[in-house]
Amino acid sequence: MIASRADWLLALPVLVPLIACALSAALRGRARAQRLVTGSAAAVMLLAAGALVAEVVRRGVIATQMGDWAAPFGITLVADLFSSAMVAITALIYAVTAVQAHADPGVRAEEGLWHPLLAALVLGVAGAFLAGDLFNLYVWFEVMLIASFGLLVLGGGRAQLDAAVKYAVLNLVATTVFLIAVGLAYGLTGTLNLADMARRMPEVPNQGAAAAVAFLLLAAFGAKAAVFPLFFWLPASYHTAAAPVAAIFAGLLTKVGVYAMIRAVTLVFPAGQDWMAPLLWAVAAGTMVVGALGAAAHWDIRRILSFLIISQIGYMIVGLAIATPLAIAGAVLSIVHHIIVKANLFLVAGAIRRAGGSFSLAQMGGLWRRDPWLGILFAVPALSHAGLPPLSGFWAKFLVVKAGFEAGWYVLAGVALATGILTLYSMLRIWIEAFWKEPPEGAAIVALAGRERWLVLGPVAALALVTLGIGLWAEPFAAFALAAGEQLAGRDAYIAAVLGARP
């Protein structure tokens, strides 16, 4: 029997970065060939991910068993609307970071390692989105983690090593907690396949132990997602990485944690435990507020942006806490929007650093007069991030807050709205300091010009267009998010796709 279309569509998002990683490692020392590998891998992955989304929209949830080992025992790859959208965005971020990295001196100095590590990171992220099995999810997290250690120290200054140690320690602790939870879940249900586990978890006699598994999983994924109170590693490390690295970290890594949280809660623990809703409530509110306040207190653009990542993660957790289909749709749209916008803001921060000579707001100014295009390209993701209509962030926030009011979670919805204002404050501060203020004495004045300008601003513009597209043409995206929310809340399609129509 020849492999079917679904087999290929599910395997390609994992195979392409795997082969790109292998090839670019084998071609170390030949920078031109490595760039060709990364470029074509990103292009192929974008096409494959687009085809995957189309297939899932047409046919609903699709699943494949690697090597034909049947479902609860073999390795399962599954894609529903949510995970296929995540794969597509991963491919998009892969492509834009690969382009912008050409212009980054820090990355170019270490190009031999950058290409394989970037591909390995994308491999881990795409694998985590498609994994239909808890242990495989763990393995993909590890792949992602190992690659991210390498990327974080790329270029290797003292500050970067310091950041990498903090990042590594907290992430290893989270991974260990995850592994313990995997072991407990296997002991309780006798299966690691997520769909199979979803059927068996309610029948487990010891529901106290099931609650412990749920809590450990939430803690592990929460630490990866940098939610309150487990977020400390993120602002301690992200601001040291090279600009393209920071962009891909900020865009993708925490979102894999949120994805895993949403997947685990909606699929395996849908009825929830009675402690889960209040816990998620507190986590969501704390994450939003702490992130926004932290951002307001800093002067380094990248530290501000790092704290804002945390605050945005809060919105996604709000969606998960409310857990109506509409709220989950809001969380899905928030993740999609946030990956694009956040990666974009970090890419712009890199460009501002080039043009203004610093990451510190105090030491730059007058950028608007020198480079209005840079200002416009910053304004689009910044305003979208703060949730102003008609940009993508508005719709994401709108869905979450609407779901909150409908479900009677008024306080949480209020906190979400207030956080939006604080976010806007931080964005305006960057705007006023970097773009409007007169440049301080001795500020470096560098013009971005020629090929470099295109390489730096091209990806930024592409992502800004996507943000504008989602904002102005919101109908299909909102419909997609709502369908994804329905699919996540009603988990039968997922279970049936993985396990077949067995009773």
Partner 1 sequence: MLDSLILRASARYVLWACVALSVFVLLRGHNEPGGGFIGGLIGALGFVFHALARGPPATRRVLRLDPLAWGGIGLLLAAGSGLPALLLHAEPLLTHQWMEGLPIGTAIPFDIGVYLVVLGFALAFVLPFLGEDAA
**3 makes contact with partner 1 (CB under 8 A):** yes
Q: In Å, how far are 90, 100, 125, 278, 284 from 95, measured between CA atoms? A: 9, 9, 14, 39, 31
At 64, which amino acid appears? Answer: T
Among 5, 26, 369, 472, the residue binding partner 1 under the rule CB under 8 A is: 26
Which of 6-14, 200-208, 262-270, 296-304 is the region at the interface with partner 1 (rule: CB under 8 A)?
6-14
Closest C-alpha among 294, 251, 295, 339 to residue 429 = 295
Among 40, 57, 59, 68, the residue binding partner 1 under the rule CB under 8 A is: 68
**208 makes contact with partner 1 (CB under 8 A):** no
Under rule CB under 8 A, which residues in 37-66 are in contact with partner 1?
Answer: 66
Nearer to partner 1, 23 or 391 (CB): 23
Task: Check whether the bond before 476 is cis (ω within 30° of 0).
Answer: no
**32 makes contact with partner 1 (CB under 8 A):** no
Q: What whole-number distance in Å separates Cα of residue 348 and Cα of residue 251?
A: 13
Question: In the complex, what is the shortest distance from the CB of residue 77 to partner 1, in angstroms, rounded to a whole number?
Answer: 11
Question: In the complex, what is the shortest distance from the CB of residue 48 to partner 1, in angstroms, rounded to a whole number?
Answer: 14
**139 makes contact with partner 1 (CB under 8 A):** no
Q: What whole-number distance in Å separates Cα of residue 458 and Cα of residue 476?
A: 26
Nearer to partner 1, 27 or 198 (CB): 27
Nearer to partner 1, 29 or 450 (CB): 29
Q: Phi-psi category of 60—alpha, beta or left, where left has phi over 0 and alpha has psi -120 to 50?
A: left
**160 makes contact with partner 1 (CB under 8 A):** no
Q: In Å, how far are 8, 129, 142, 150, 302 from 124, measured between CA atoms? A: 18, 9, 8, 14, 25
- For 100, the token pair is 């912008």
Which of 1-9, 307-315, 354-362, 413-421 is the region at the interface with partner 1 (rule: CB under 8 A)?
1-9
Which of 12-20, 89-97, 344-352, 396-404 is the region at the interface with partner 1 (rule: CB under 8 A)?
12-20
**69 makes contact with partner 1 (CB under 8 A):** yes
Question: In the complex, what is the shortest distance from the CB of residue 123 to partner 1, in angstroms, rounded to a whole number?
Answer: 10
**67 makes contact with partner 1 (CB under 8 A):** yes
**165 makes contact with partner 1 (CB under 8 A):** no
Question: In the complex, what is the shortest distance from the CB of residue 149 to partner 1, in angstroms, rounded to a whole number?
Answer: 11
**319 makes contact with partner 1 (CB under 8 A):** no
Q: Are 128 and 264 in contact (CB under 8 A)?
A: no
Q: Are 282 and 295 in contact (CB under 8 A)?
A: no
Residue 425's contacts (CB-CB under 8 Å, 6 or more residues apart) are: 296
Nearer to partner 1, 66 or 184 (CB): 66
Question: In the complex, what is the shortest distance from the CB of residue 28 to partner 1, in angstroms, rounded to a whole number?
Answer: 5
User: How far does Cα 39 stand from its chain's mean position?
Assistant: 21
**284 makes contact with partner 1 (CB under 8 A):** no
**21 makes contact with partner 1 (CB under 8 A):** yes
Nearer to partner 1, 126 or 223 (CB): 126
Question: In the complex, what is the shortest distance from the CB of residue 59 to partner 1, in angstroms, rounded to a whole number?
Answer: 20
Residue 113's contacts (CB-CB under 8 Å, 6 or more residues apart) are: 28, 150, 154
DSSP character string of 361-416: GGG---HHHH-HHHHHHHHHHHHHHHT-TTSHHHHHHHHHHHHHHHTT-HHHHHHH
Nearer to partner 1, 12 or 430 (CB): 12
Nearer to partner 1, 26 or 57 (CB): 26
**85 makes contact with partner 1 (CB under 8 A):** no
**113 makes contact with partner 1 (CB under 8 A):** yes
Among 60, 112, 366, 414, the residue binding partner 1 under the rule CB under 8 A is: 112
Q: Phi-psi category of 193—alpha, beta or left, where left has phi over 0 and alpha has psi -120 to 50?
A: beta
Q: Are 334 and 315 in contact (CB under 8 A)?
A: yes
Nearer to partner 1, 113 or 313 (CB): 113
Q: Are 141 and 178 in contact (CB under 8 A)?
A: yes
Q: Which residues bind partner 1 (CB under 8 A)?
A: 1-3, 7-8, 11, 15, 18-19, 21-29, 66-69, 112-113, 116
